[in-house]
Structure 1
Amino acid sequence: MTVASRFKLAVLGCENPTVQTRQYTSTESLLSSKTVIIVEGRATCENDELSELYAVFRDTIVPVSRSLETDEFQVTFADDHKKLPKGYYSIRFYDDVGYLNLRKAQSQNMPLDQVKPVFTVDVYHPGIWFSPVVHSETVALLAVALVGFGAVITKNKFF
């Protein structure tokens, strides 16, 4: 392959991507201080030119962990619970060419969503569970058991 043809493929980027994804979002707030969104899956291009991936969530650009042998990828985003309420979120994925365009848009203070992604993954976050550790039903059951135990002890005069 000549230098000119390598350059031509690099400029073209990924064409007709095939993407299969799995998503995960954290839903409890007791043991974590941030909400986590994880997207993993497999991505391939028709012209085999998907060497690097970058993901954008809101205005944060991060490199995507990717296995070159299996085309599997994974990306993780974390933010405060209050900043990620229940709802759908779009994560846009870019190849090398798209990343260069993103950096150019950033340097010119342009919105990043104007750069066309290779593919987009919509993630549904069901919201955070802010329930207490001990439920009111458990407290009521313990109170009834304590009163019942006290009544049995008093009746049988174990004191």
Structure 2
Amino acid sequence: MKSFAVIFCFALAVALAVADTCSKPEVTASAYVTEDATVLTMVAFTTQFTLKCSNGVKGISLYAEVEGKSLPAVKLSSDNKYQVSWTDDIKKARSGDYNVNLYDEESYSAIRKAIRNGEDPSSIKPLAVVVLNNPGVYTGPWINSELLAALLAALVSYAAFFAKSKLLV
């Protein structure tokens, strides 16, 4: 009877562990990136996504990795909506695609263990990847309006002085 209880407990533990794993994930995402940085020092990146698992798992904890930064994925609602947000310095933020790698708890702990042991964590496959596109950040005009006004005033003054000197001669 004891062996049956041990086998039953082991089978139950395996079933619970498998139940929390998302199989064949499908991600639908939308994104927002700060595009006007004329008065800002940081660029904000935000992506919201819905995770659908073929086995119907809901409410799993997710973690994200973007260009070496580890970030939590915040759960927004009970229907598997999540959000990942971060900021970056304007000078460091590049235009183009950012890959947001999503990991469940098991794979994220494997990444942390690999980093702790000095191993390469890139061999651990993400649960899903969300691509966030940054079209670029507008940092203002090439020439400030004050400088342009001063140059135009100097040009008009020069033209007026030159025309006046021709009239007097």
Task: Please state which band the TM-score falls in when normalised by the shorter chain.
Answer: 0.7 to 0.9
Deviation at 1:30, TM superposition (A): 2.2
1:73 aligns with 2:82: yes
The structure 2 residue matched to 1:62, chosen from 71, 76, 81, is 71
Deviation at 1:135, TM superposition (A): 6.7
Amino acid in the other structure paired with 2:42: K
Partner of 1:43: 51
How many residue pairs get aligned? The number is: 140
Counterparts in 2 of 1:78 and 1:111: CA distance versus 1, 3 Å: farther
Deviating above 3 A after TM superposition, structure 1's stretches of 4 or more consecutive aligned residues are none
Partner Cα separation in structure 2 for residue 124 and residue 82 of structure 1: 17
Listed as ranges, the matches of 1:1-159 within 5 Å are 2-10=12-20, 13-49=21-57, 51-67=60-76, 69-132=78-141, 136=145
User: Which stretch shifts more, 71-80 or 45-54?
Assistant: 45-54
SS in 1 for 2:32: strand
Higher Cα radius of gyration: 2
1:49-88 per-position Cα deviation (integer Å, ceiling 9, x unaligned): 3511100001111111113512111110111111111111
Contact 1:98 1:117 in 2 (8 A): yes
Partner of 1:153: none
Partner Cα separation in structure 1 for residue 28 and residue 18 of structure 2: 27
Deviation at 1:4, TM superposition (A): 3.3
Partner Cα separation in structure 2 for residue 110 and residue 24 of structure 1: 34
Amino acid in the other structure paired with 1:106: I
Q: Which residues of structure 2 form unaligned runs of 5+?
A: 1-10, 154-169
1:87-130 per-position Cα deviation (integer Å, ceiling 9, x unaligned): 11111001111111111122123333321001101111111111
Percent identity for Structure 1 against Structure 2: 23
The two structures have a TM-score, normalised by structure 2, of 0.71
Q: Which residues of structure 1 form unaligned runs of 5+?
A: 145-159
Partner of 2:7: none
